[in-house]
Structure 1
Amino acid sequence: MSTSLKKQAYPILILLLAMWLVRIVDIVIPIDLNQFGLLPRTLRGLAGIGLMPFLHASFGHLIANTIPLAILLGLTVASRQRAWPVVVAILIGNGVLLWLFGRSANHIGASGLVFGLIAYLITVGIREKQIASIAVAILVGMLFGGTLLTGILPRWNSVISWDGHLFGGICGLIVGIATSRSR
């Protein structure tokens, strides 16, 4: 593995490790850290904009986010020169939209970022029409296209944050349009 590729992989590993450490700490300490999730339209819920991606209800929930997040972050970092500002923009945009318009629930997990990266990578591939970005878009579409389409559908009375998925996808689309050139 080249030095440059290693440097690009470290932040991904650190982010994923932080998510796992938070889950382990949440089990060990007597305080439920998930109370710091995003609660729409509440002052307390504002902290969840930044904390939500690190909080997970179970190890199953964490694994369900870790695997696609590792793949999508790897593809984003490998294919984009300024990947981390894109990731931050999707995280913040998703959190703000969810805080403003999300249903009244405690939203936790990194799936908003997952859906944002799916939409971002597909959008960039469609707009740029470069071989590498098209290949990434096709790969992401094949791996996660069905998840994208079904994950944003409203599920009333569900513990799954479909609205977080939807706003993540919207943010990925917006960031993809804002950071790519249509050819």
Structure 2
Amino acid sequence: MTYPPTVSSAGSRLRDKPLWIRSGIVMAIIVAGLFVIEAIDQATNFQLDDNGIEPRQLDGLDGIVWAPLLHADWAHLIGNVTVGAVLGYMLLLTRRFVVVTAIVWIVSGAGIWLFSPPYTVTVGASGVIFGWLTFLLVRGIFNREIWQCLLGVALLLIYGSVLWGVLPTVGGTVSWQGHLFGAIGGVVAAWWLATRDRKKAATPTY
């Protein structure tokens, strides 16, 4: 008798694959999930977008959790995924994806909640993506690793123009606050992880 594969067995098979394949599969699942969420949002007349971040409103505070999963329309989602899939894949290769994403997710969302204009609702993953980018840009400096620094330089040449999005703008639909605090979150994540790793390396074992 044969049985369908369980979640644990599927996870075991995924762990057995090379890191670069696992990272690609995980990133593909994330991207597919974002497209499914946007399809549901469109089908429900954009009702999911109401769960975005509402600045300085207690009932909008939970938007910090949901906002990066939501997008205003297909163009907004595709614009974020185009860059985000590449950076997310690179971050997965570093084995720091979960920690870095958690830090930039919270810092970006908190910055939006505290400093965005009142009576607005912010959605989109761009704050998280800015955090991924800045982490990859500066981690070599904190880790004192020449190859990571060279990778950061290469990413700066490719995506450096994106960083203009952290500058304040008047009006418009772009949340520069999310970009700025997401970028700050990426730097914080790089500093914290490098400090933690050095402390671990300096701790004697018996």
Shared topology, TM-score over 0.5? Answer: yes
* Greater Cα shift, 160-169 or 126-135: 126-135
Whose radius of gyration is greater, 1 or 2? 2
Q: How does 1:1-183 map to 2 (within 5 A)?
A: 2-30=17-45, 32-78=47-93, 80-104=94-118, 105-148=120-163, 150-180=164-194
Quote the offset at 1:111 in angstroms.
0.3
Do the aligned residues in 2 keep the contact of 1:126 with 1:137 (CA within 8 Å)?
no
Partners of 2:138 and 2:125 in 1: how far apart? 20
**Which string of whole-angstrom CA distances, capped at 9 and with x for unpartnered residues, describes residues 86-118 of structure 1?**
111111221122212333221110000111111
* AA of the residue aligned to 2:170: W
Quote the offset at 1:31 in angstroms.
5.2
Do the aligned residues in 1 keep the contact of 2:122 with 2:175 (CA within 8 Å)?
yes
Partners of 1:44 and 1:10 in 2: how far apart? 35
Do the aligned residues in 1 keep the contact of 2:138 with 2:149 (CA within 8 Å)?
no
Do the aligned residues in 1 keep the contact of 2:100 with 2:189 (CA within 8 Å)?
yes
Quote the offset at 1:170 in angstroms.
1.0
Name the TM-score, length of structure 1 as normaliser. Answer: 0.89
Q: State the percentage of identical aligned residues.
A: 29
* AA of the residue aligned to 2:186: G
How many pairs does the alignment contain?
Answer: 180
Do the aligned residues in 2 keep the contact of 1:75 with 1:136 (CA within 8 Å)?
no
Name the TM-score, length of structure 2 as normaliser. Answer: 0.80
Q: Cα RMSD over matched residues? A: 1.9
Unaligned runs of 5+ in 1: none
Q: What SS does the aligned partner of 1:180 have? A: helix
